Structure 1
């Protein structure tokens, strides 16, 4: 964990881990956008989405709402739908929404934008330095 000192405890390390995952999500979203596939909406389901704390971090890091899905099988539904389209059983990519129930929508806290932008810049800097070594 970058910046770790003796003043930090397990709570700080746990938060840093969650923030690191959120920064990685943001990086992947930017990579897809650079490839011509920008994301307009963000959804979360399954285990991690049960942590309101983490979902707030994600919304704040992305500076966009995160829509939680209720009672959703997660990536297995997405994989099955991609398979159905590939097999020619449907050509309706949006039809998967018929099988989704929306839960809470987590709004980003604008007061955290500058803090997380700075954290993201540091994340990218450390990521670049580490990836050049390996």
Structure 2
């Protein structure tokens, strides 16, 4: 799968559109997704909701796995550890790397950071997941 196809897959996901997600990089064993920080994503303590970070983990892991499996993939499962709450920042960035891929299954891990307007990044979560190839059309 190439960058343009990957971008089209993301654009076809209504939830990704709702969050304003964009594919920043795709290739060489790595996928990078970004979501702009939005006050509507905050929970009751003013932190970005963990569900937004979990979305980034899920999708970025799946994109990284697609580098090995092709475009017809689904997340089998993932774990996420929230390292630091996100209160300030401009962009959430998930960088996922393909760790291993066989014919039907791949493993990937990712780092989720919050990036400020000056480009400084702070780690807020890490995740690892398993993705399966499907027979579905992308």
Q: Which band: TM-score by shorter chain? A: under 0.3
- With normalisation by structure 2, the TM-score equals 0.23
* Larger fraction in helix: 1
Larger Rg belongs to: 1
Higher share in strand: 2
